[in-house]
A and B are shown apart, each in its own frame.
Chain A
Amino acid sequence: MTLGGETSIQARTGDPDVALAAAGDTSAFERLYRTHVVRIHNLTRRMLGGQEADEVTQDIFVRTWQKLGQFRGESAFSTWLHRLAINVVIERRRSFAIQRERMSDDAAALDGLSVKPARADLTVDMEHAIDQLPPGAREIFVLHDVEGYKHREIAAMLGIATGTSKRQLHRARMLLREYLSGG
């Protein structure tokens, strides 16, 4: 990465740390990590569950470091990082060949969430409820309702039909409705 390249990225992103990190400055990259890690970890934990979140988050940031040379500043760094993170999460899921099963519309998978929430803290309730969703529904609920992606974007990312994304989202919402109402 040339100095000119660094300057160009900085000019486009307005973040000198992005340019410095792209040039190999690990201190700048650590600052980027500390700025974005909570959001990335939250995304990862909600999509995959807590057990894998730490390891996958680390993987995401290493991939980010490796790919920074490809970042052209055509979008915000946070947007680019977020999309990279989703790709890593999806890749991780696919690597275990469970994506298809998790996207099943099997009626048996529509069983209600088993544990009723404590009513005292709705935030905790929602986090816990999301974690209890069937994985396929959880993934789409997080991408759509928490992260704000559209069905067509989700369908493209996951390699599924838009209709499947809509069905899984509704399924997730209905399960959460039942769970959060304590019914």
Chain B
Amino acid sequence: MGVDVHEEWTDQLSEYLDDELDAAGREAVEQHLRGCADCRAVLNDLKRVVAQAQTIPPSPLQADLWDGVAAGIQGTGRKGAGVDAAHPSTPVPFRRRFTFTVPQLAAAAVVLMAVSAGIAWQIADRSAQRAQSTVAAGGTRTDNGADVTTAPVVALERDTPAGASIVQVAYADAQYDAAVADLEKALKQGRGRLDASTIAIVEHNLQIIDQAIAQAREALSADPANSYLSGHLVEARRRKLDLLRRATALTSDTN
């Protein structure tokens, strides 16, 4: 389209379009446009881009986020300024919500639980296997018979196995790495018992969590004293551990 040839002019077309040029600049651009079909075409394209941007209809939510908001505002005490002034940038931990199609029933059980924040416990390698017994066989129903497509996240999270030996993990120590390694190994061994869509979703979410961990680590290296970043890193690692634990449990359910 010869844009490179006219770059000095095309670079001004957005400002021309937005009426951001002074009178002399505007006149210069208009003079060029009168003799340059290529730049007129670019200008028309830019007008179409802007017109489309201004008329994008809103996209509906994929999931209702109110429960997370309600959980977040409980106990904040609001009454305003006090809360924010004391902690102006402290994020409230939330539960992520995801929407799944019917063919992803089994995957939903994994992902809904895996991305929910606030689980401060992890089940060590042996315990993970014992946890498998608490999720109903078939992978689409919980041990209390609730359909995972309709059961609230909270209900799923209450399925912590009675009697399982649980340990609290310090997320920066070797115990965490060992637990992750064991669960990854167990998941690898059991992945043949999961359907392809479940595997894809689990791996996709693991990738997201790993990216979050990497970003948090990178940011922390530049700002080691940032408590928010530290908390974010801990939360991301916790999510990874929980996703691995529950995905591993699902491999047993499908036996």
Contacts and interface: CB of A to CB of B under 8 A. Distances in A.
Contacts of B216: 96
B145 interface: no
Given A145-B50, A146-B54, A65 B78 contact: yes
Interface residues of A, number: 53
B210 to A, nearest CB: 13
Contact of B92 (A33, A62, A68): A62
B10 interface: yes
A67 B85 CA distance: 10
Contacts of A176: 49, 53
Contacts of A1: 79
A180 B53 CA distance: 12
Contacts of A41: 61, 65
Contacts, number: 141
A55 to B, nearest CB: 5
Interface in A78-136: 91, 95-98, 122-123, 126-127, 130
Given A70-B80, A177-B42, A145 B11 contact: no
User: What is the interface of chain B mostly: helix, strand, loop, or mixed?
Assistant: helix
B49 A96 contact: no
Given A68-B80, A170-B11, A181-B45, A59 B56 contact: no
B221 to A, nearest CB: 9
B61 A38 contact: yes
Contact of A62 (B13, B61, B73, B89): B73
A69 interface: yes
Contact of B59 (A45, A63, A70, A169): A45
Contacts of A174: 10, 46
Contacts of A42: 58-59
Contacts of B195: none
Contacts of B1: 183
A181 B42 CA distance: 11
B63 interface: yes
Interface centre among A30, A63, A68, A91 (most CB of B within 10 A): A63
Interface of A: 1, 24, 26, 29-30, 33-34, 37-39, 41-42, 45, 51, 54-55, 57-59, 61-63, 65-70, 91, 95-98, 122-123, 126-127, 130, 141, 145-146, 148, 151, 166, 169-170, 173-174, 176-177, 180-181, 183
Interface of B: 1, 10-11, 13-15, 20, 42, 45-46, 48-50, 52-54, 56-61, 63, 65-66, 68-70, 72-73, 76, 78-81, 83-84, 89, 91-92, 94, 96-97, 208, 215-216, 218-219, 222-223, 226, 228-229, 232
